[in-house]
C-alpha cells in the first residue's frame, strides 16, 4: 500500500510529522535553562534530511503492511508506535554531528547550511547541547505509552538496547575512535596509517552504519517483526548504510558547500581514509550500486515492500 502521491510527498509528510514530534518533546524553560533549550533546538531543528527517523517509520510501516494489511488504518500505517524511536535516533544523530564538528574532532564551521553549534554558542555549550540531546533520546524511549501491553514494553526495551549498542563504544563512538586513529594528526605532524578495504568498512559500519541499522531495526522491532524479518531488515540496512557512506565520501569529492550545507573536500585535506581515496570514483560508484542491489535482494527475500526500496534509491541518488 504505497502513497499514490509519490515518494517526495511521503518524505514531506514524514518529515513534517517527525519535526513536529521532535519540537513538542524538547525540554523548555523553566524546566531547563533557556540557553541549553536554545542550543538543542538550534542544531536539531536546522533541517537535516531526517533519513534515520524516516527509515524507522518506513521499516515499521513495511512490517505492519506485510503482516497485518487488514488492520491498516489510513492514518496510522504502523508508524505511530515507532515515532518515539524515530525521534530518539534523530536526537542521537544530531548530537553526533555537533560533537563531530567541534575543534577537537573535525573542526567544521558549517553544518546543515548554517554555522555549527560551537561557532554560535562556543565549545562548552555545544558539548552540553550534544550531551543533552543524547540524554533526551533515551528519556523519550524510556517513557511508556499510557496503555502499553507487556509485549509492547518488551519490544520498546529491545529497541532501546539496540539503539544504545549502535550509538556506543561498539558502534558510532567506536567508529569515531577508529576514524580518528586512521586520520592524519596535523597538530602532531603525523600521517595516519594506510588502511585497507576491510578496516575502512569496519570504520564505516560502526561510525555511520550502526545508527542506520538501529534506525531500521527499531521500526521492525516495534512493529512486531519476527526474528527472520529482523534479520532481513538488518541485511537491508547494512547494505543501505554502506551505500550511504560511499555516496557521502563521493559527495565530499564532487559536491558543493551550497548543496551539501557543509564544508566539502575536507576528507582529502585531513588525510581521511575514504572509498574514493582507496578505490577511485568509478569503482566507488560501482560499489554503491552493488550495495543497493544487495539491499533490494534482502527486502525481496523477506517480501518487505512499502517505502524501503525507494529509500535506497534516494540514498544512492542524493546530491546532499
List interacting residues with ligand GRG (CB under 6 A).
48-49, 51, 93, 96-97, 99-100, 112, 172-173, 176, 207-208, 248
Supply the DSSP symbol for 109: S
> Which of 72, 50, 59 is closest to 232 using CA atoms?
59
For residue 49, the minimal CB distance to ligand GRG (Å) is: 3
130/225 with CB nearer ligand GRG: 130
> DSSP letter string over 79-106?
-TTTHHHHHHHHHHHHHHHHHHHSTTTT
112/156 with CB nearer ligand GRG: 112
For residues 197 and 181, give the distance between their C-alpha atoms in angstroms, rounded to a whole number. 16
Supply the DSSP symbol for 114: E
For residue 183, the minimal CB distance to ligand GRG (Å) is: 11
> DSSP letter string over 215-258?
HHHHHHHHTT--HHHHHHHHHHHHHHHHHHHHHHHHHHHH--HH
For residue 297, the minimal CB distance to ligand GRG (Å) is: 24
63/172 with CB nearer ligand GRG: 172
65/249 with CB nearer ligand GRG: 249
Q: Which residues contact 280 (CB under 8 A, 6 or more apart)?
A: none
131/297 with CB nearer ligand GRG: 131
For residue 95, the minimal CB distance to ligand GRG (Å) is: 8
For residue 252, the minimal CB distance to ligand GRG (Å) is: 8
Amino acid at each position: 500500500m504505497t502513497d499514490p502521491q509519490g515518494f517526495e510527498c511521503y518524505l514531506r509528510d514524514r518529515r513534517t510529522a517527525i519535526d513536529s514530534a521532535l519540537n513538542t518533546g524538547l525540554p523548555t524553560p523553566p524546566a531547563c535553562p533557556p540557553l541549553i533549550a536554545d542550543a538543542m533546538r538550534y542544531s536539531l531543528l536546522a533541517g537535516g534530511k531526517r533519513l534515520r527517523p524516516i527509515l524507522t517509520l518506513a521499516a515499521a510501516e513495511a512490517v505492519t503492511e506485510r503482516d497485518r494489511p487488514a488492520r491498516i488504518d489510513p492514518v496510522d500505517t504502523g508508524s505511530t508506535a515507532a515515532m518515539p524511536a524515530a525521534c530518539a535516533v534523530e536526537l542521537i544523530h544530531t548530537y553526533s554531528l555537533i560533537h563531530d564538528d567541534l575543534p577537537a574532532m573535525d573542526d567544521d564551521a558549517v553544518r546543515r547550511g548554517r554555522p555549527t553549534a560551537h561557532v554560535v554558542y562556543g565549545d562548552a555549550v555545544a558539548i552540553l547541547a550534544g550531551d543533552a540531546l543524547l540524554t533526551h533520546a533515551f528519556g523519550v524511549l524510556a517513557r511508556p505509552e499510557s496503555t502499553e501491553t507487556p509485549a509492547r514494553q518488551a519490544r520498546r526495551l529491545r529497541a532501546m538496547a539496540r539503539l544504545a549498542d549502535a550509538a556506543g563504544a561498539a558502534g558510532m563512538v567506536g567508529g569515531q575512535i577508529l576514524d580518528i586513529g586512521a586520520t592524519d594528526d596535523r597538530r602532531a605532524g603525523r600521517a595516519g596509517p594506510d588502511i585497507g578495504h576491510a578496516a575502512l568498512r569496519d570504520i564505516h559500519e560502526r561510525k555511520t552504519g550502526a545508527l542506520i541499522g538501529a534506525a531500521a531495526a527499531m521500526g521492525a522491532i516495534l512493529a512486531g517483526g519476527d526474528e527472520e524479518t529482523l534479520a532481513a531488515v538488518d541485511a537491508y540496512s547494512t547494505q543501505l548504510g554502506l551505500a550511504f557512506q560511499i555516496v557521502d565520501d563521493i559527495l565530499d569529492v564532487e559536491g558543493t558547500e551550497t548543496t551539501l550545507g557543509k564544508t566539502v573536500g575536507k576528507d582529502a585535506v585531513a588525510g581521511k581514509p575514504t572509498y574514493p581515496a582507496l578505490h577511485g570514483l568509478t569503482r566507488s560508484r560501482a560499489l554503491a550500486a552493488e550495495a543497493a542491489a544487495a539491499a533490494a535482494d534482502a527486502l525481496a527475500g523477506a517480501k518487505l515492500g512499502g517505502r524501503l526500496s525507494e529509500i535506497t534509491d534516494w540514498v544512492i541518488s542524493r546530491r546532499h
